[in-house]
Structure 1
């Protein structure tokens, strides 16, 4: 689909533009460029004039378009932007707390006993496989 068809409306950086058509152009070094003719409403506050301008396809894709009429044309000075009304922020719901049962704390004597029991079980398994236990090395 050709996005540069006449009559097509598009928005660039918050401004609405309408493509009027194309125009052939030959540059000074004999290159052919197809220029796009478009129209828009002046971005200057209080000025509702419709202006027409020419640009290349690549400048349209980059968003480098005129935003003001010939009367208010000011290159390099950004056009005033209407800020949209801010919506009130949504209140976050409080986090639902999960009840996690507490595990009883294990005393150091119980930990030591468990470690001894694991060591004995490993030694018994090693003897069953006819291997020498690792603690004898």
Structure 2
């Protein structure tokens, strides 16, 4: 699936964005760059304006996106980011006790001895 298809919703650093489409752009040195149009809601508290912006694919991947509308645009001043809640780790497996390890070792030795007898060999514990 193309990551930059129009209509796709994504989140970057907790802020929702929607991709509107692409725009062809040629740089001054003649290189072709595909710009991505996106829209979002202004991050300034109390401002509910929806703004549209352009960015390159690499800047979107790096999370370097505009977060405020043209009215509140403030380069270099970070937007307060909601702290992401850490997921609880799943139940840890307990370490086997020494008795359980010894029991498992004995059981493996018995299984090896049974296999040796079945192969008409002398069991290793008789050596």
- Superposition TM-score tier, normalisation by shorter sequence: 0.5 to 0.7
Q: Aligned residue for 1:37?
A: 37
Q: Aligned residue for 2:106?
A: none
Q: Aligned residue for 1:72?
A: 72
Give unpaired runs (5+ residues) of structure 1: 87-97, 99-137
Q: Aligned residue for 1:12?
A: 12
CA contact (8 A) 2:14 2:82 kept: no
Q: In the superposition, relative to structure 1, how do residues 29 and 10 fare at CA in structure 2: closer, same or farther (>3 Å)?
A: same
Give the Å deviation of 1:48. Answer: 0.4
Name the CA distance, whole Å, in 1 between partners of 2:85 and 2:36.
Answer: 34
Which entry has the higher C-alpha Rg, 1 or 2? 1
- The TM-score, its normalising length taken from structure 1, stands at 0.60
**Number of residue pairs the alignment of both structures matches:** 92
- The TM-score, its normalising length taken from structure 2, stands at 0.65
RMSD: 2.4
Name the CA distance, whole Å, in 2 between partners of 1:83 and 1:47.
Answer: 21
Secondary structure of 1:72's counterpart equals coil
Name the CA distance, whole Å, in 2 between partners of 1:33 and 1:85.
Answer: 37
Give the Å deviation of 1:84. Answer: 6.6
CA contact (8 A) 2:13 2:81 kept: no
Secondary structure of 1:60's counterpart equals helix
